[in-house]
Amino acid sequence: MTKAADRSWGPPGEQGISTSYASGSRLARLRRADNGKRSVATLLNEERSLVIELLRGHGAVVKARTLFAKAGNARHVAIAAADYLLVQGWVELSEKRRGSLWEIAAMRWLDADGLRGALHLPRRDAESTRRAEAMAGRPRDARLGELHASLRTLATRTLIRRALLVTRLDAWSADERSGSRNTFAQFALDDSHGMTSADWQWLERHVDLDELGISRHTPALWLRAPLRLIFAGNRQLDLAAVPDMIALSPATIAAIESIEGQPPAWLLVENRTSFEDTAKKVGDRFAVVWMPGYVPDWWLDALHRFARLMPAPARIAADPDPSGIGIAIRASKPWGFDWKPVAMSPAALAATGRGKPLTDHDLMLLSGLRRDSIHPTLAALADAIEARKRKGEQEALDIASWLDQ
């Protein structure tokens, strides 16, 4: 459709409609109202419904075949709606002459968002702003890049809702949390049953939920320890017989009535690879437990029970980085003050090698850390991280070799 600004227009007729012809043969023309009132007060019934349906499209131009297809068998409704929009100044009509008759070829919206507003429909300009704002916060975790990009294909309401899920999943990942699907739903939406099956299917298409610490199945605590667990009826489970590691469900741990054995300490290790290596090396002496990042409440409840039934101090080994400090502090709760960090000192940070640069999230965590209220070793580690401007990873350390330091 030729732009109106590039054409010459005749004077307005009785209805205020001006016409511009494409050529001297006058086989094609454009028509538009010079001073349309832009009203919808008398746009009623089938014509109103048709216009609302047309406004669901995204283009600036509605072809004749689309106009009449939307009207179905009611061709007269399409013509009446187009004439109404023309007179009121909402559209510019392109027409072609067939013999002595002029037929609609296309109509171009002159103010589609204004018309949407007049009909109490969502404006596309406001919708575009909402979509842009929802897409603006790119996740820090690279594993969520594809998930974030997939938001663009969604309807606006779904996009805005799921953009929040991406943001909360990114925070979950940054905190190195783990737990069940209900735990994540509670964290993300403040409602343990707030996620729909469609939400989960969308997440599963784009990310590995297990890798992000979100489990579909019953959670389990992994450990190796020289302990014998005693249950009702004097039934026993001898963990000392396990050469590497074993998983216990929360229900199993809750059923333990007493524990035999006295290891020197509970040794909590964050990184899964480091845990497995440490469990094989010293799990015959220490009670070595996998600490899955920012531990969930069920994990803390399980360790509270273990610590009560088998009192011993805790040694906690998390990554020597800002997140690791928070992880260690949370995991220490079952022991009060009877614990200390392992491989989380300035010396351990230096031993990790070059390490990684600090992110904005790391800097935020450090700025909010009260050094006078945490374990002195962790306070010293925080100072060392700030001075070095880099963080370390636990996998670079042999945890067992740091137990005597």
pLDDT recorded at residue 382: 96
| Alpha-carbon span 230 to 227, nearest angstrom | 10
pLDDT recorded at residue 78: 95
| Alpha-carbon span 96 to 94, nearest angstrom | 7
pLDDT recorded at residue 63: 95
| Alpha-carbon span 210 to 212, nearest angstrom | 5
| Alpha-carbon span 370 to 187, nearest angstrom | 24
Q: Say if CB 85 and CB 17 are below 8 A apart.
A: no
Token readout for 261 is 């054995």
| Alpha-carbon span 253 to 230, nearest angstrom | 10
What angle do helix axes 360-367 and 322-331 make, rounded to 10 degrees?
50
Helices (H), 207-333: 250-254, 272-282, 297-309, 322-331
Instruction: Report in angstroms the alpha-carbon separations of 347 from 328, 381, 388.
Output: 17, 9, 12
Residue segments in the chain with a per-residue pLDDT below the cut of 70? 1-6
| Alpha-carbon span 45 to 60, nearest angstrom | 24
Q: Is the pTM of this model over 0.85?
A: no
pLDDT recorded at residue 5: 53
pLDDT digits (tens, 9 = 90+) for 100-138: 899 999 999 999 989 998 998 888 777 777 888 888 888
pLDDT recorded at residue 137: 83
Query: HSE on the CB side for 401, CA within 13 Å?
Result: 9
From-to residues of CATH 1.10.10 in the chain: 4-118
pLDDT recorded at residue 265: 98
The CATH architecture one would assign to domain 4-118 is Orthogonal Bundle (1.10)
Kindly calculate the radius of gyration of the chain based on its CA atoms and give it in whole angstroms. 34
CATH 3.40.1670.10 fits 221-402, yes or no: no
From-to residues of CATH 3.40.1360.10 in the chain: 221-402
Instruction: Report in angstroms the alpha-carbon separations of 10 from 36, 96, 311, 388, 392.
Output: 16, 17, 96, 75, 76
Number of Cβ atoms within 10 Å of the Cβ of 144: 20
Q: Which amino acid is at 92?
A: E
Helices (H), 272-401: 272-282, 297-309, 322-331, 346-351, 360-367, 376-388
DSSP 33-68: ESS-----TT--HHHHHHHHHHTTS--SEEEHHHHH
Nearest to 263 by CA among 290, 230, 237, 227: 227
Residues 6+ apart with CB under 8 A from 266: 286, 287, 289, 303, 306, 307, 312, 313, 314, 315, 335
Nearest to 147 by CA among 177, 167, 123: 167
